[in-house]
Amino acid sequence: MDITNFEFNALNLPSPMEEIFDECWNSKGIQVFVKRDDHIHPIISGNKWRKLKNYIQTFSLNEHSGILSFGGAYSNHLFALAFAGHALGIPTVGIVRGEELNVSSNPYLKQINEWGMKLHFETRTRYREKKIPLEYENYLCIPEGGYGPQAIDGMNTLVNELPSCDAIYCAMGTGATAIGIARFSNVPVTGILTLNNQAEIEDHLNDFPTNNLTLDDNYIFGKYAKSNTDLELFCKEFNEKHQIPIEPIYTGRLFYALIDHIKNGHIAPDSKLVAIHTGGIK
Ligand SMILES: Cc1ncc(COP(=O)(O)O)c(C=O)c1O
């Protein structure tokens, strides 16, 4: 399997960089750039390729029969892995949280199934155990949400594509993306938490220490993926103004936080900021 060929022919790498303008920051001499990783691919979008690439490279050593991973019913990660498996001819298995679900429960699971990923629906208890079914013992296992050392290492290429700047902003789920960026960069990184998992992220930081990552848990809006009219309106207005699609779960929270930091005087005048657009499906 030739990953370089796939990257060259199917992916838009390096992803574009775009400056966005607004009186709110331009009046302070602050520049805001968006790293458009959402343009890497319509499906393996945002941080997905960065997180998957090294695992796929490991698979290409021919020591495993396929790739297996874990996720919820709307997992962006399983969606991207299923497509990558389909595009590259890799057998994939998804262990999905919720025994009440099936391949027709939602359009994402339906699509994942059509791409050939074998789906196993587990009870919440069994899902938590993260057991690999015996028949897939030889599969390469990517931890839930694509978190793992190889995902963190995948941020090296992203950091190499960034211009020099004063601060980097990134949304956090498992933390792999923000931790990886911080480890490969000398610039201060602000990680915007999107769910109440600070303890889990602290654990990850014990395994992969950084000295330039600050966590901000002020923009969780109560609960992961919980809808919030303020946030939804913000995303809509941001999309209209900057012509950059963002969604309320990850990138909506990211840009809401970044603009709030600017308004609060948290960002020094004349700073150059880079926000990572990590993609996302709705
Ligand atoms: C669109 C989007 N942005 C950000 C994240 C958070 O990434 P990470 O889990 O690496 O912190 C995710 C989750 O993978 C995501 O789907």
Question: In the chain, which ranges are E strands?
Answer: 17-20, 31-35, 67-71, 92-97, 118-122, 140-142, 167-172, 189-193, 213-216, 272-276
Which pLDDT score, from 0 to 100, does residue 266 have?
Answer: 97
Q: Does the model's pTM come out above 0.75?
A: yes
Burial state string for 113-123 with b = 16 or more CB within 10 A and e = fewer than 16:
bebebbbebbe
**Nearest atom in ligand 1 to 176's CA:** 10
As beta bridge partners, residue 19 has 33
pLDDT digits over 216-229, tens only? 999 999 876 667 89
Q: Please tell me if the domain spanning 3-42+148-276 has the same topology as the one spanning 65-138.
A: yes
What is the reported pLDDT for 282?
Answer: 46
pLDDT of amino acid 256: 97
**Binding pocket residue ranges, ligand 1, CB within 6 Å:** 46-47, 76-77, 145-147, 171-178, 250, 278-280
- Which CATH architecture does the domain made up of 3-42+148-276 adopt? 3-Layer(aba) Sandwich (3.40)
* CATH level 3 topology of 65-138: Rossmann fold (3.40.50)
Q: Are the C-beta atoms of 12 and 41 separated by less than 8 Å? A: yes
Residues in a beta bridge with 190 = 169, 214
Amino acid making up residue 54:
N
Q: Whose CA is nearest to atom 3 of ligand 1?
A: 278
Q: What is the dihedral of CA 266, 264, 215, 158, to 10 degrees?
A: -70
31-35/17-20 β-pairing: antiparallel
CA of 22 relative to ligand 1 center, distance in Å? 26
Which atom of ligand 1 is nearest to 278's Cα?
Answer: 3
Q: Which atom of ligand 1 is nearest to the CA of 175?
A: 11
> Residue 266 in contact with residue 160, Cβ under 8 Å?
no
Parts of the chain with a pLDDT under 70: 224-226, 281-282
Domain boundaries, the chain: 3-42+148-276, 65-138
Strand, helix or coil for residue 218:
coil
Residue 224 confidence (pLDDT):
65
| pLDDT, tens only, 165-191 | 999 999 999 999 999 999 999 999 999
Are the CB atoms for 115 and 82 separated by under 8 Å?
A: yes
How far does the centroid of ligand 1 lie from the alpha carbon of residue 187, in Å?
20
Q: What are phi and psi of 13, to 5 degrees?
A: -125, 140
